[in-house]
Structure 1
Amino acid sequence: MTVSIPEADDRTTGGHGETGDDRRTDALARIEADPLVGALLNAAVDGIIITDGSGIIHTINKACCAMFGFTREELIGTNVTRLMPQPFSRDHDRYIDSYLATGRAKIVGIGRESLGKRRDGTVFPIHISVGVARLDGGVAFVGILRDISERLAAEQRVSYLARHDPLTGVLTRTAFLEECDGVLARLDPADQKDGYALFCLDVDQFSDVNEAFGFHVGDAALKALVARVTEVLPKDSFLCRIAADEFAALSRVTGAEQAQTLADVLHDRLTASIYADRHWVRLRVSIGAALFDTGMQTVEDLNAKAKLALQAVQHSGGNSVCFYTPEMAAAATRRMLLTMHLAHAIERRELHVVYQPIVEAVTGRVASAEALLRWTHNQLGPVSPAEFIPVAEESGLIVPITDWVLTAVVAQMAAWLVEGVLPSRVFINISGQQFLRGNLTHRLAELLEGHPGLEKRLGLEITEQAAVRDLKAAVRTIAELAAIGVIAAIDDFGSGYSSLSYVQQLPVAKLKIDRCFVEDVPENTKNAALVRAAVGMAHGLGLVVVAEGVETPEQQDFLKSVGCDLLQGYLFGRPMLPADFAALIRKQQPAPVAG
């Protein structure tokens, strides 16, 4: 062990003669016999050892004996190297020899970290400070030792937590990027077999698990997910937790085929039932992946492509696997452009509302209308709702946009009421975000104030997904709306959960069968059976049934035969401007009787 000792001003070597040794031994004996010195030594919390110039222990306190597991009698008279593991004991011998030969230390300082060896052979970290005492022409060394095991363990724990997720134990994002960049930097461009794939994993609607079972079950499910990822991916893979329910993994692969196989197997394993804290949980997992190529500089480049693939999966419904293609970058740019322009669409007056008629199945008369939002950008031209509505929902712009639609439709209804062409109901599509915010009823009450009776002509359409996302909140909101006369309808029934358990709990008035079940009836016997069953179920619950997407007389005849109450589709009219809809209403009104 190399120790640090202050440089001596008096270069008395102490020598190796008998006189110096005898004087030194006598002096140490007098110190040891002093009761005050003994009391001070044993009161010290740190270990203290006093040795002569040869390293023989003459005095040692209780704290030092306890630290090393020896008794005082076992150590007195032995060499201090007994408390040191190799090679530190050899370093100590060389240092002492150097000091006695030159009268000064080669290294000047007050202390350093080293290792000690206990009686049972275990080695542990210590901090040691060494001082020099001159006694009657001789020299003695005083060592102060402290066990720093707990301090180093705490430092290692802090260092570990800085680079690892405390829940799952995988790398943090920063540590993951550092490790992966180091691996990719060492790749040989000439080696075609040396390739990597990055997988981005996101648990779809993970908040539902926490809300349904509690955070303890959600945490257990994430731990099980990580365990399954490590089982499937190669042993030298790197795995990190990016967000609460999002992970990334870098794995060595031999090519695109193996990467695809890994992604498919991984998805199968992660979506299988998980037993988490005494509950069975089935997760929906989206995986986006990308293969490393020589044009990439860092793992961030690879991660950006995998994220684009992940977004593509989620935009198409999630719970699947997708690999990056160059077209995804263009699509992402397009979404970013739409988000930027959509934020200013209201103030630029680029939005407008059109109305599609809903007719009675038996008479064919217009009974109500659905208000539909349209966006015509001053440079991009008309943008499809199928494209800009998801962008609005992802960006949160759907909330102010929906509020604008509510304002515009109520104003139009008030105008139609004055003109005498207001249908029995006008339905507005409400996003899940707006529907579950908790202030929808209050906002509608504000808009309808000053228009007596208009609230009984207004209806809202919500999707299955929005209703089921928070069933209690949905039931409460629908009941509040009904209290002011505004009815609610389930839109796109059949495209989502289609569960009788939730339909019978929601106090809705209408159920709209999704167009995907209508488009090929009556030829498609399975869809025909589903439509017939949906109509029977809805009527059994006292609900009015609306069929969407009616385009042919054959569809109309079938839907009328199975008992659909209302029909909507291009067969009866495309979405139209308010003036055109008003003209349609006037056509079906009876001609005034001549005076």
Structure 2
Amino acid sequence: MPTTSAFLASLAESLMHQASFALVYADAGRRCLFANPAFAAVLRTSPEDLAGRCLAEFDHPLARSIVQALDRSGQTGEAAPVDCEVERADGGRGVLTGCVLPHRTGDGGQGFLGLFQDVTDPARVADFVLRRDPFVTTLLDAAVDGVVVADRNGIIRTVNRSCRDLFGYDEEELIGRNVSVLMPPPFSRDHDKYIGSYLETDRAKIIGIGRDALGRRKDGAVFPIHLSVGQARLARDVVFVGIIRDISERLAAEQKATYLARHDPLTGVLTRTAFLEECEAVLAAPFPGQEGGLFALYALDVDQFSDINEAFGFHVGDAALKAMVSRVTEVLPQQTYVCRIAADEFAALSRVESAEQAETLADLLHDRLTASIYADRHWVRLRLSIGAAVQDADIRTLEELNAKAKLALQAAQHNGGNAVCFYTPEMAAAATRRMFLTMHLAHAIERNELHMAYQPIVEARSGRIVGAEALLRWNQHTLGAVSPGEFIPVAEESGLIVPITDWVLNAVVEQMAVWEPAGTLPNQIFINISGPQFLRGNLSARLEELLGRHPELRGRLGLEITEQAAVRDLKAAVQTLTELEAIDVQVAIDDFGSGYSSLSYVQQLPVSKLKIDRAFMADIPDNLKNGALVRAAVGMAHGLGLVTVAEGVETEEQRDFLVSVGCDLLQGYLFGRPAAPDAFAAMIRAQQPAMA
């Protein structure tokens, strides 16, 4: 029987030369001292060619892997594992797996034995490529999206870092489990069926197609994902690669964009477009009256809402609007559609049982919306106009119902606002009339249809004409004479008041320039100026230009503005009045007593005259209340150093009373009606001989 050493030597000889695994022995300098035929075949060379050569000389994945393992083993003194993908002789891909073992020679030297086995199992090949290759691992972990790789049976082979973070699992908890663990029902239930169908028919429902789906985290939370699945082949098998993206934020952004496209961002009610879509769909159903119900459309407009913004700031205005919408939904029935049409305009469509209920709701709504609102630490009260229309058998579309509600709203505003108004057929005729007037008023200047009339203003005690009020008249070629009370509001609403006022200023100054050398120009001529025109900011510049052509008229031209216009923007009014005073243009407060009548603002305005509203002239001196008001107004004006003018004087008794209370100037039919320029000049000439 051979000795133990002889047996081991014989066994080593057999293993080195006849074993199927690859074997190599290298010294500490990485020189190959021995390689068996299996190892040499992998490097496509012979054992003889390898002998004595440094392994680092060979440009081959196995040689590079062994050199790295030699370094690790030399440092640690322990075995170093080696896994390496190689190209097989048949052209396929394979994996050599094994290790490098440190070895001490008899003379105390250092050597290393490498043993490697060819792994032909496709599962091991895939496992190596997907989990152990450093480049692939680095690439997958660098991806922002989650990546999961599963075999043909749905078993997870690898996941990247993003996928683990996305689903809340550690790698060990996923490897080897079915990929359906990442899916909620019904996706998890049907997954294997989809994969089996694809492998059998090659017809994909998911493969190669990106789509939105749902994922399930470890804690059971379900969230939206975008899933793209691709197919890859490793060795002779198929693997599936899923790329997963969390689309929660994207969907949230899309939902927010969709919401904002249909809802007002401040109040949360529908936008005008969404309101039309919703309401038209409702009205498209059979006529609700047949089912015991009607629809009422309410058009709401906050009067002078800009005053709240200017007085308290936009944050208070916004808070007031939100509180207002909340009250609308409280008062009107459930399933009412509410929309914001403009900054301070809203509309609401409600189902009502009858026209009477619609009117009751409108009154309740107005009372609720005009009650005090606590908005961002301020108490405010809204002035609100409501126009309403109730559906009848002739109204089939929202457009028809809305047109009638808008007409009702306009009627409420024309009557002073802050009220409720329901549509009546007469409103359509009035709207047609206003549209007709607007169309023709736009051409009144070029057609020479405008002219001025002048009404005398007399000294109270002597009755002598000392001034006049210039009054605009419009004689339309088909309509005839149109009342200023009708066309002036039309001009203000349409914006035509701006060019018309400019024409008036020019016409009056030119007429004064004619009267002055003829000796028929009274002390002052006053022109009425609308509120918007007064606050435009260029009034004083325009008058300075006109008076620059006629310096002899300085101090002879005056303006009249209503007290409402004067206090609408007190700061701007004071600035404009100061500028007018600087160019010697006097200003009178017209219709004093009809609006605010507050000493607190009158004393702040640099004006010269107060014109007492004609409403106080009724029944004086018999009407003791009106008489007391007139006496108080005259006394207040004189206390402030202002001249008083009483309008609407028509009787001797009124004149005598006004003289007795100290009123300075009088105006009315008792002294003369508005007259054409020539007729007015004749009045001036008629009093001149008497004066002489």
TM-score, normalized by the shorter chain, greater than 0.5 = yes
Query: In the aligned structure 2, how far is the partner of 1:460 from the partner of 1:340?
Result: 28
Aligned residue in 2 for 1:329: 428
Aligned residue in 2 for 1:12: none
Any conservation in 1 of the 2:208–2:230 contact (CA below 8 Å)? Answer: no
Aligned residue in 1 for 2:153: 54
SS in 2 for 1:65: helix
1:58 Cα deviation (Å)? 2.0
Structure-2 change in CA distance of 1:433 and 1:351 (3 Å): same
Aligned residue in 2 for 1:299: 398
Whether 1:492 aligns to 2:596 is no
Whether 1:358 aligns to 2:457 is yes
Whether 1:442 aligns to 2:541 is yes
Whether 1:29 aligns to 2:119 is no
Whether 1:276 aligns to 2:358 is no
1:462 Cα deviation (Å)? 0.6
Any conservation in 1 of the 2:459–2:664 contact (CA below 8 Å)? Answer: yes
1:136 Cα deviation (Å)? 4.6
Whether 1:241 aligns to 2:340 is yes
- Segments of structure 2 that go 5 or more residues without pairing to the other structure are 1-119
Whether 1:573 aligns to 2:662 is no
- Give runs of aligned pairs for residues 399-410 of structure 1, distance below 5 A: 399-410=498-509
1:104 Cα deviation (Å)? 4.2
Any conservation in 1 of the 2:298–2:389 contact (CA below 8 Å)? Answer: yes
- Segments of structure 1 that go 5 or more residues without pairing to the other structure are 1-21
Query: In the aligned structure 2, how far is the partner of 1:265 from the partner of 1:547?
Result: 41
Aligned residue in 2 for 1:474: 573
SS in 1 for 2:511: helix
- Give runs of aligned pairs for residues 186-265 of structure 1, distance below 5 A: 186-189=285-288, 191-265=290-364
Query: In the aligned structure 1, how far is the partner of 2:126 from the partner of 2:414?
Result: 83
Aligned residue in 2 for 1:8: none
1:135 Cα deviation (Å)? 4.1
Q: What is the CA deviation profile of residues 533-554 of structure 1, one whole-angstrom value per residue up to 9, with x for unaligned ones?
A: 1111111111111111111222
Query: In the aligned structure 1, how far is the partner of 2:449 from the partner of 2:230?
Result: 84
Query: In the aligned structure 1, how far is the partner of 2:318 from the partner of 2:407?
Result: 27
Query: In the aligned structure 2, how far is the partner of 1:504 from the partner of 1:140?
Result: 91
Q: What is the CA deviation profile of residues 368-411 of structure 1, one whole-angstrom value per residue up to 9, with x for unaligned ones?
A: 11110100011110000000000111111111111111111112
Any conservation in 2 of the 1:129–1:144 contact (CA below 8 Å)? Answer: yes
Any conservation in 2 of the 1:548–1:567 contact (CA below 8 Å)? Answer: yes
Q: What is the CA deviation profile of residues 417-438 of structure 1, one whole-angstrom value per residue up to 9, with x for unaligned ones?
A: 2221221111111112221222
Any conservation in 1 of the 2:373–2:380 contact (CA below 8 Å)? Answer: yes
Structure-2 change in CA distance of 1:501 and 1:291 (3 Å): same
Aligned residue in 2 for 1:138: 237
The range that moved more, 347-356 or 103-112, is: 103-112
Any conservation in 2 of the 1:375–1:382 contact (CA below 8 Å)? Answer: yes
Aligned residue in 1 for 2:38: none
The letter of the residue matching 1:39 is T
Whether 1:117 aligns to 2:224 is no
Q: What is the CA deviation profile of residues 82-119 of structure 1, one whole-angstrom value per residue up to 9, with x for unaligned ones?
A: 11111111221221232244354356643211000112
Aligned residue in 2 for 1:75: 174
The letter of the residue matching 2:466 is A
SS in 2 for 1:191: helix
- Given candidates 453, 456, 459, the residue that maps to 2:555 is 456
Aligned residue in 1 for 2:101: none
Q: What is the CA deviation profile of residues 106-159 of structure 1, one whole-angstrom value per residue up to 9, with x for unaligned ones?
A: 566432110001122211111111122334543322111111111111111111
The range that moved more, 419-428 or 294-303, is: 294-303
Structure 2 length normalisation: TM-score? Answer: 0.80
Query: In the aligned structure 1, how far is the partner of 2:234 from the partner of 2:502?
Result: 92
SS in 2 for 1:423: coil
Q: What is the CA deviation profile of residues 208-256 of structure 1, one whole-angstrom value per residue up to 9, with x for unaligned ones?
A: 1111122222222211211221221222111111111111111111111
1:197 Cα deviation (Å)? 0.9
Whether 1:544 aligns to 2:654 is no
Q: Size of the alignment, in residue pairs?
A: 572
Q: What is the CA deviation profile of residues 39-91 of structure 1, one whole-angstrom value per residue up to 9, with x for unaligned ones?
A: 22222211111112222222111111110111112222222111111111122
Any conservation in 1 of the 2:556–2:585 contact (CA below 8 Å)? Answer: yes
1:581 Cα deviation (Å)? 1.5
SS in 2 for 1:545: strand
Any conservation in 2 of the 1:351–1:376 contact (CA below 8 Å)? Answer: yes
SS in 2 for 1:590: helix
SS in 2 for 1:456: coil
- Given candidates 384, 398, 414, the residue that maps to 1:315 is 414
Any conservation in 2 of the 1:237–1:250 contact (CA below 8 Å)? Answer: yes
- Given candidates 457, 461, 479, the residue that maps to 1:380 is 479
Any conservation in 2 of the 1:339–1:395 contact (CA below 8 Å)? Answer: yes
Query: In the aligned structure 2, how far is the partner of 1:339 from the partner of 1:330?
Result: 14
- Give runs of aligned pairs for residues 72-111 of structure 1, distance below 5 A: 72-105=171-204, 109-111=208-210
Any conservation in 2 of the 1:23–1:135 contact (CA below 8 Å)? Answer: no
- Given candidates 227, 230, 253, the residue that maps to 1:154 is 253
